[in-house]
Amino acid sequence: MRKRQAKKRPILPDPKFNDQLVTRFVNMMMWDGKKSIAFKIFYDAMDIIEDKKQDEEKSALEIWKEGLS
């Protein structure tokens, strides 16, 4: 057992979109500590959304956030 409770670490925003929600999503998607691969999968998916989107007003990140809610 621990002598005291571990400190909470702040979640850093992702490098491309500068958003903490993206980092939380990637952390949940990650397998076996492979964060770089999880980020690559997420960013590739954002590129696909950007290519297929029809509404020019929304960015791929806004479309993804709308899909989460």
**Which residue has better confidence, 2 or 43?**
43
Distant-in-sequence, close-in-space partners of 62: CB < 8 Å, separation ≥ 6? none
Looking at every residue in the chain, the average pLDDT score rounds to: 92
**What pLDDT is stored for residue 57 in this prediction?**
83
pLDDT of 1 strictly over 80:
no
**What pLDDT is stored for residue 64 in this prediction?**
93
What are the b/e assignments for 44-64, b being 16+ CB within 10 Å? eebeebeeeeeeeeeebbeeb
Is-contact 20 11, C-beta < 8 A?
A: yes
Residue that has been written with the tokens 């999880």 in this structure: 38
Q: What is the mean pLDDT of residues 46-59?
A: 88
**What pLDDT is stored for residue 26 in this prediction?**
95
Q: What is the mean pLDDT of residues 24-42?
A: 93
**What pLDDT is stored for residue 16 in this prediction?**
93
